[in-house]
Amino acid sequence: MNDPKHVATYAGHYLDNAYWLFVQCFQRYFPGLVPRDAILDLGCGPAAIPLLLARHFPHCEIHGVDGAPNMLAYGKKAVQREGLEQRVRLFHGILPENFHLGRERYEVVVSNYLLHHLADPLVLWNGIHKYCLPHAAVLIIDLLRPASKESAEFLVEKYIPDAPPLLRQDMLLSLHAAYTLDEITAQLEEANLAENLTLTKSSPFQFSAYGYLN
Ligand SMILES: C[S@@+](CC[C@H](N)C(=O)[O-])C[C@H]1O[C@@H](n2cnc3c(N)ncnc32)[C@H](O)[C@@H]1O
């Protein structure tokens, strides 16, 4: 994901709706929640979601961490363009390594489309325990693996027919790399998160896992 072509694809306007939907989901799942200190975005990419969250929640900081320096470089420029350097801070880090962040723990932790990148999915779920304050709000969204190669191709054709070719190819690969609802249910149980996070199929090809920790 450090390849400049990938950075341009994920930073391009084609995904604006997906980023907007992420924030809509946040508001739907956590009505009335107004973060006051800081939100952490794990695998923040070019910082599109941190920037949207910063606009929605003007009284808190948004911190993003990502393992790809070029994604972060793009994100930092976007943050500067919007004059949000004081509130949107981006850090380099590869989960599950230890890395420096602006806080040790956060009142809200979110992540969009990181899980399917992880060979060991517990890296994300353990990261929730590691970076969340008690009673933190958590929202994770990612793809669901379809039952067959044909179903994956159908989804790409139906939902992103006009997307740039690299994005279509990436979505296909990502759908194959994604987990199923049963697998994610098992992951949440193994990570002791099943009682806290509600798992739902939030679109024909995505899941949301959301809730408050104890
Ligand atoms: C599909 S992109 C999604 C980016 C962003 N969340 C978005 O919605 O635009 C996945 C991101 O996760 C990052 N990533 C993958 N594995 C990672 C890891 N182990 N630690 C940190 N970031 C990682 C990649 O560099 C990439 O920017």
* Domains present along the chain, CATH in parentheses: 4-212 (3.40.50.150)
> What is the per-residue pLDDT across 58-88, written as a single tens digit (0 to 9) for each?
999 999 999 999 999 999 999 999 999 999 9
The pLDDT value given to residue 10: 76
CA atoms within 13 A on the CB side of 136: 22
37 CA to centre of ligand 1 in angstroms: 23
Compute the mean pLDDT over every residue in the chain, rounded to the nearest whole number.
95
> What is the per-residue pLDDT across 133-176, written as a single tens digit (0 to 9) for each?
999 999 999 999 999 999 999 999 999 999 999 999 999 999 99
125 lines ligand 1 (CB under 6 A): no
Distance between terminal CA atoms of the chain? 34
The pLDDT value given to residue 195: 98
* pLDDT confidence band for 2 (50 / 70 / 90): confident
34 lines ligand 1 (CB under 6 A): no
